[in-house]
Every structure is written in C-alpha cells, then in structure tokens.
Amino acid sequence: MNKYIIGWAIFLALTLSACGSAPKEYYLFTSFHEPATEGLRFLYSEDGLHWDSIPGIWLRPAVGKQQVMRDPSMVRTPDGVFHLVWTSSWKGDLGFGYASSKDLIHWSEQQLIHVMNDTTTVNVWAPELFYDETEKQFIVVWASCVPNRFPNGDEEEKNNHRLYYITTKDFQTISDTKLFYDPGFSCIDATIVKRADADYVMVLKDNSRPNRNLKVAFATSPYGPYSAASLPFTESFTEGPTVAHLGRQYYIYFDAYKKKTYEAVKTTDFIHFYNANADISIPNGHKHGTIFKASKEVVEKMLTLSKPRKES
C-alpha cells in the first residue's frame, strides 16, 4: 500500500472519529403551567420544531411574596452551568428569582435578586437572560411599572411598563439598574438575539392598548441603544417570544394567549415574517419560556428519572 493511500486512510479515520465524537445535544424549552405555582417544567426536541414534555417538576418556587415561577429564562454558560431567572410574583416583589444547576436536576439555593429601589414599583416581570461572551457577563432585562415615571398614553398608570436591565458575572455582585428601552409605549417580554458581531435583534411585546403584539428592534451592541420598534409581526394578544436559530431560519415562538395556542413565525432577516405553525408541534398547557441546548446525557437522565417507577 503506497504512502498516499495510507495517508488518506489515516485522514479519513481521524475525520470519522472526530465526527463520531461530537456530543449530541437536544433543544430544551423552559416551561410552566398556569397558575405557575407548581414550578419549572421542560420540553425537549431533536430538531427544535417538534416538542415533547419531560414529565415532572424540576424546581419548585421558594422565593418572592407569591412564590410563583413564571416566564422561566435559561442560558448555559461555556462552563456548562445552567442559569435560570424567573418572575417570582405578579406584584409586590422588587426583584426576580435566580438559581443555577449543572445537570437540571440538582439546584443551587434560590435567591431573590433585588433590582428595583423605587418602592412604588408595581412589579418585576419576565426577566430574560442573555450571556455576553465578549464581556463574560450576563445581561438580565425585565419589565417594571413605576407609576408616574413615563407618559402613560392609553395605559393605566399601574400598567405602564418599560424595560430595565442589570449586568452581573456571578449573581452575587450586581450592577446598578438602568433603563434598557423606552419605545414610547408600554412594553414587556424582551429577548435578545445575536446574529453576528455588532448585529443584535430584540424581540419585544408592545403591551399598550389596543396593540398587545410582538415587534422587533435592532442594535449594534446587546446593551443598545436599540432602534425604534418595528411594525407588529403578530396579531394582538401575543406575548412571551423566544427564538430558535435553525439553519438559515430563525423561528420565533410565542404564546397566543387569548386563543390559548402556542404559535411561531419564521424569518431570515427579522423584516419579513412567515407563519410557521404547520412546522411545529407543542404539547398542550405549555406556557412561554426560553429555548437553549443541553447534552444528550443530561436530557436522557431527566427522562429516566421522570419515568414512573414500578412498585416491587
């Protein structure tokens, strides 16, 4: 066998070995069921489109005045740790819930992260995590209503939200709270998408009457400033967007809460949007969270633990 053939065989073997050693990952979708008092649930998917439930409750809420777990948002950092934030109360809390896990089964002690110092603040809703790999820190964006701080338009004073944020590297030391986005109307449910360096999209809910629909804004930094909000790309009574990047397409999932359905649109540019409901399947009862990835080992262990055990 000549040297060329031997060299090619070695190259092919190494290539196949490298391909075979790439760890398989699943898409996971954080979830909750109304009235959000039970705790954290998960969906899983191999393709990011067709979802099944992982049975069971994986973290029960233990912080906040009302101790709910709504709007769970999760990211996995490069060290493999999963970080979770959530809405801990409808009203009355000046912060949000936080916990972390290495396997989505065993969790750190829950914390209430205090972020609003104005005691007239009505709420801290839908904290959304984004991990800035350049600065190696988290951005947490949420919506709060602080009465009489902004023109209220058609909103009641206690329903006039704007988006705020903090940064942190460890959820022990927290930056000062700053205004993140004021589009001139009540807004909630923001999620940040990185498309490329200096190319970021924010998907948000226009919560003003009579709109209550989803829009996008653009920036060259995850911290903003963001552009004026676009025209809506969904009908009214939609909220809780999260985005999955699948091939060339971005799928924006959202809760069509008046119809009690879960829906999606797809886009390649965040300018043109197309109905994607025929592409997806989601279990009944799922309420909005965020999509992220976890290893095959993590997901299969959760599925094994969630199976009912036979009585001996």
pLDDT tens for residues 91-103?
999 999 999 999 9
- Best CA proximity match to 175, nearest among 135, 218, 226: 135
- CA–CA separation, 131 and 222 (whole Å): 10
Contacts of 20 (CB under 8 A, 6+ apart): none
Residue 221 pLDDT > 50 = yes
Residue 8 pLDDT > 50 = no
What is the reported pLDDT for 63?
Answer: 98
- CA–CA separation, 115 and 93 (whole Å): 10
At residue 30, φ and ψ (nearest 5 deg) are -65, 150
Residue 236 pLDDT > 80 = yes
C-alpha dihedral over 59, 64, 66, 72, to 10 degrees?
-40
- Best CA proximity match to 29, nearest among 78, 81, 72: 72
Once rounded to an integer, what is the mean pLDDT over residues 162-187? 98
Residue 152: CA count within 13 A, CB half-sphere: 12
* Domain layout of the chain by residue ranges: 25-232+285-306
C-alpha dihedral over 203, 82, 58, 192, to 10 degrees?
0
Residue 13 pLDDT > 70 = no
Question: From the CB of residue 135, how many other CB atoms can be counted at a distance below 10 Å?
Answer: 12
- CA–CA separation, 282 and 141 (whole Å): 26
Tokens representing residue 75 in the block: 């990211």
Give per-residue pLDDT as tens, 53-104: 999 999 999 999 999 999 999 999 999 999 999 999 999 999 999 999 999 9
* Percent of the residues in the chain that have a pLDDT greater than 90, as a whole number: 88
Q: To which residue do tokens 């350049």 refer?
A: 134
Class of 25-232+285-306 in CATH: mainly beta
Residue 22 pLDDT > 70 = no
First-to-last alpha carbon distance for the chain, in angstroms, is 61
Q: Beta partners for 252?
A: 243, 265
Once rounded to an integer, what is the mean pLDDT over residues 198-208? 97
